[in-house]
Amino acid sequence: MIQRSSCLKTLIQSLRVTTPSSSPTKLAAYNCYTSQPASSLQEVSKPSASSPSNGDEYADVDWDNLGFGIMPTDYIYMMKSSEDGSFEKGQLNRYGNIELAPAAGVLNYGQGLYEGTKVYRKGDGRLLLFRPDQNAIRMKMGADRLCMPCPSIHQFVDAVKQVTLANKRWTPPPGKGTLYIRPLLMGSGPILGIAPAPEYTFLIYTSPVGNYFKEGFAPLNLYIEEEFHRASRGGAGGVKAITNYAPVLKPITRAKSRGFSDVLYLDSLHKKNLEEVSSCNIFLVKGNTISTPATSGTILQGITRRSIIEIASDQGYQVEERAVPVDELMDADEVFCTGTAVGVAPVGSITYQGKRIEYNIKAQSVSKELYDILEGIKTGLIEDKKGWVVEI
């Protein structure tokens, strides 16, 4: 457990925000993007008299109808790199558009990473983060792959705490959803030839969210893609590069138009082994064995994936990280997906080469057992014996 940071507390207590520009009555989850000009971004340093964002009140949101959509909150966190690549003087700014050079590395060459983590509100008002240090570590790995300097683990976690506290009133009531935290690291400086950008921006924005899939908790229907691949050996599939995501838009759009929830990718070399779903990792259950594709460079090292592996091992399952041939889907007892946004989601069917494999989802499934434990730890209902939860 992390101690409450007195400096953070003081900072947040001193924040007095003006009435947010982004608070239409009962904001609906999917259509709330504002185009506030960059020039209207205000550095938050001076207390003002109205509307304290100390979290004692809730934002005016229809908490019962949250989806996974962008809803502007009060603040973003921003920190730019210095010439030597070090990060300093991060600050909270009012939520709004940011300014970028037309030749910014991220716009021209995709030099960018993103992360995702969630904040849970407890009944007593305290906020819980789940393993934010793991996001910081993963961002560092990605930054190394994309030749970017990166905030330290301490800076990353501190920034997540600051932006969380500043947007506390946007954290849904317990059981209604979470505050999704989206850290970004990008080459923001201008560059014309292919080279690392001369300046970097670390930014975090937040949005209250509910279920990632419109299916809610209903089982997912996946489609196995053979024409397109998500990642290839030696590429950047193992890190959270923003460039991993635009290429999946076409297969996802096609699959969704045919009624599927998401796409499951195969390895690009042999088209034989399972890789991952566009938005999450995948697990198969057969008897007491739980298998998941090994992360050998093309598969994202999910924090939920790693946590589920640990919880499943603690529960006595034999967990195997290995190459998982697509044929094993045929006689799996259960299949489920894991991810920060997705959580732990059961799979109801997988369609491969025109054949639909159906899974019988039992009330007492393995995925439900693991989901309940993970969710219990994240929400503070189950004692965190692993030091995963950070309370702020």
- Is 15 or 241 the residue whose CB approaches ligand COI more closely? 241
| One-letter amino acid for residue 27 of the chain | L
CB of 144 to ligand COI, least distance (A): 19
Which is the catalytic residue, given 118, 140, 168, 240? 240
- Is 17 or 204 the residue whose CB approaches ligand COI more closely? 204
- Is 342 or 377 the residue whose CB approaches ligand COI more closely? 342
- How far apart, in whole angstroms, are the C-alpha atoms of residue 285 and residue 305? 14
114 sits in which H/E element: strand 112-114
- How far apart, in whole angstroms, are the C-alpha atoms of residue 190 and residue 105? 6
Per DSSP bridges, beta strands 127-130 and 389-391 are antiparallel
- Is 90 or 183 the residue whose CB approaches ligand COI more closely? 183
Residue 70 is given by DSSP the state -
Per DSSP bridges, beta strands 262-266 and 220-225 are parallel
CB of 85 to ligand COI, least distance (A): 25
Binding site for ligand COI (CB under 6 A): 116, 279, 339-342
- Helical ranges in 232-350 per DSSP H: 249-257, 303-314
Residue among 308, 317, 295 at smallest CA distance from 237: 295
- How far apart, in whole angstroms, are the C-alpha atoms of residue 360 and residue 334? 8
CB of 329 to ligand COI, least distance (A): 22
- How far is C-alpha 170 from the chain's CA centre? 17
Report how far apart, in Å, the C-alpha atoms of 73 and of each of 76, 91, 130, 354, 392 are.
8, 16, 20, 44, 18
Q: Is 337 exposed, middle or buried (0-12, 13-18, 19+ CB in 10 A)?
A: buried
CB of 132 to ligand COI, least distance (A): 12
- Residue whose beta carbon is closest to ligand COI: 116
CB of 68 to ligand COI, least distance (A): 7
- Is 61 or 342 the residue whose CB approaches ligand COI more closely? 342
Buried b (16+ CB within 10 A) or exposed e, 69-103: bbbbbbbbbbbbbeeeeebeebebbbbbeeebbee
Residue among 355, 352, 359 at smallest CA distance from 325: 352
CB of 300 to ligand COI, least distance (A): 8
Catalytic residue list contains 271:
no
- Is 229 or 305 the residue whose CB approaches ligand COI more closely? 305
Give me the active site residues, please. Answer: 240
